Amino acid sequence: MKLWVKILIALILGVIVGLIMTALGLSTELFKPVGDIFLRLINMIIVLLVLSSMTVGITSIHDPQKLGRVGLKSLLLYLTTTAGSICIGIFFAKLFSIGSGMGLTTTTEVKIRETTSLGEIILQIIPYNPMASLVEGNVLQIIVFALFLGISINFAGERGRPLLEFLESLADVMYRLTSIVMEFSPIGVFAIMAWVTGTYGIDTLYELGFFLGTYYLACLVQVVVILCGILYFLAKLNPLPFFRGMGDAIMLAFSTSSSSATLPVSMHCVQENLGVSKNITRFILPLGSTVNMNGSGLFQGMAVIFIANAYGIDLSWTKMLTIVVTATLSAIGAAGIPGTGFIMLSVVFTSVGLPIEGLALLAGIDRLREMVSTILNVMGDAVVAVYIAKQEGELDERQYYHEDLVEMETGDFETGEMYD
């Protein structure tokens, strides 16, 4: 049985057990320590996971020449669309006030430090001592340090190779540790859902369903407004052939919930169906699978507001800005494998001081969220590839509009041309 199925079953069983125990007048407090252990295991991996995966993600842009015109364009567009998706998630979460009916409380001390200016926010994210940031678990400072470290490793060339290999090894180990921790997630989710349901009632399940529905609606807006907007207004292309050409990749993304697993099919669709050149495809799509996480960013922005509302915590505009910055940067460090976006959400929670136990509330629906999220990630990568190819004159528009397919269907083989 797949892990996400186990988690979903655990969520349902936790709700049922919590309701039964409440009806029998029994306390569900005995489940709370089990859930707390699971949350501590998640906290345990955050610092080293962020440092290693973030640095390795930056070093994936390893060719200095490609950090020129094409690399800069694609990177800026990836970061812009990811930040835009986070803003959409925050907007919809605020619009529908998701989580506000839960009325949860936490035994953990919640520290929401207010800043008075944008300048102070910038100063607070710059580490004066990276080792101190690691020890203190200051995730935003760790992300900034990892950014500079990754760039410096690239410029160091062969001399930086040993450090890169160490960090790649560390990242692989942390991914494996993440997998081990996630194996305990059904137990943790069961325990926390039993405790939450026993304490706060069935309204919890309703609020989670409402969150999921709102998330799907926000994803649709992201596709129509941002992705289709890039194709129509910037690339001057009809968006409809894009969806036709990306059909295989969309279905694989939905079924695997993995941007990395979908990458070979995405590259085939973008190159063969949409007419993007090999050079653009082979550079931009692997880069996008590392740094462009539209669906994950949207989820993180919405999840933070959901948990803040659930616990009755007010977030100022400076905290909103921190959410956008942290979620955008943490998306760079999120591997394109199932479950990583959920783990990286803990980074965003930590940056604004939200209770980490809020993660367990979202764990049960994470797979249902992630199937759509991966589609958004894959489509965002492909849209940027098409746009950059159009700007660089490396897009075959006949192939994009499937005109060669129309000729084949009508029997026009006179020229025998092949479209690369």
Query: What are the residue ranges of helices labelled H in 184-293?
Result: 185-200, 203-221, 228-229, 240-245, 247-256, 259-268, 278-291
* SS3 of residue 395 by DSSP: strand
Q: Residue 175 is inside which H or E element, if any? A: helix 161-183
Spell out the domain ranges in the chain.
3-410
What is the pLDDT at residue 234?
A: 94
* Residue showing tokens 């063969």: 272
Query: Alpha-carbon torsion 73, 79, 82, 84, what sign?
Result: negative
Question: How far apart are the C-alpha atoms of 308 and 361, rounded to whole Å?
Answer: 12
* Separation in Å, CA 386 to CA 188, 267, 288, 396: 43, 11, 12, 10
Query: What are the residue ranges of helices labelled H in 24-68?
Result: 32-59
Question: How far apart are the C-alpha atoms of 287 and 230, rounded to whole Å?
Answer: 19
Which of 286, 243, 271 is closest to 375 using CA atoms? 243
Supply φ then ψ for residue 63, to 5 degrees: -95, 115
Question: How far apart are the C-alpha atoms of 382 and 87, rounded to whole Å?
Answer: 21
* Residue showing tokens 């990177």: 75
Those residues with Cβ within 8 angstroms of residue 310's Cβ, 6 or more apart along the chain or in another chain: 99, 100, 102, 103, 104, 207, 358, 361
What is the pLDDT at residue 350?
A: 76
Residues 287, 291, 297, CA angle at the centre, nearest 5°? 145
Supply φ then ψ for residue 65, to 5 degrees: -65, -35
Those residues with Cβ within 8 angstroms of residue 391's Cβ, 6 or more apart along the chain or in another chain: 73, 235
Question: How far apart are the C-alpha atoms of 214 and 299, rounded to whole Å?
Answer: 10
Those residues with Cβ within 8 angstroms of residue 350's Cβ, 6 or more apart along the chain or in another chain: 46, 137, 139, 356
Supply φ then ψ for residue 276, to 5 degrees: -80, 140
Task: Tell me how far apart the terminal alpha carbons of the chain are, to the nearest angstrom.
Answer: 43
CB of 288 closer than 8 Å to CB of 185:
no
CB of 174 closer than 8 Å to CB of 57:
no
The string of pLDDT tens digits covering residues 30-69 is 888 888 888 788 778 878 877 887 787 677 655 556 556 7
Q: What is the DSSP letter of 233?
A: I
What is the pLDDT at residue 88?
A: 94
What is the pLDDT at residue 275?
A: 94
Determine if residue 99 is left, alpha or beta; phi over 0 gives left, psi from -120 to 50 gives alpha, anything else beta.
left
Question: How far apart are the C-alpha atoms of 392 and 70, rounded to whole Å?
Answer: 8
The string of pLDDT tens digits covering residues 150-171 is 889 988 889 999 999 999 899 8
Which of 259, 52, 44 is closest to 143 using CA atoms? 52
CATH of domain 3-410: 1.10.3860.10
From first to last of the 420 residues of the chain, give the pLDDT tens digit: 777 678 778 878 988 998 899 889 888 888 888 888 887 887 788 788 778 877 876 776 555 565 567 778 888 898 899 889 999 999 999 999 998 877 676 655 545 444 445 566 677 778 889 999 888 877 768 878 887 898 899 888 899 999 999 998 998 898 788 778 878 888 988 887 888 788 767 777 788 889 999 999 999 999 999 999 999 999 999 999 999 999 888 987 886 677 766 877 888 899 999 999 887 887 788 777 767 788 888 998 899 999 999 888 888 787 888 888 877 776 665 555 555 666 678 778 877 778 877 777 787 677 778 889 989 999 999 999 999 999 888 899 999 997 654 444 444 433 333 333
CB of 337 closer than 8 Å to CB of 260:
yes
What is the pLDDT at residue 217?
A: 96
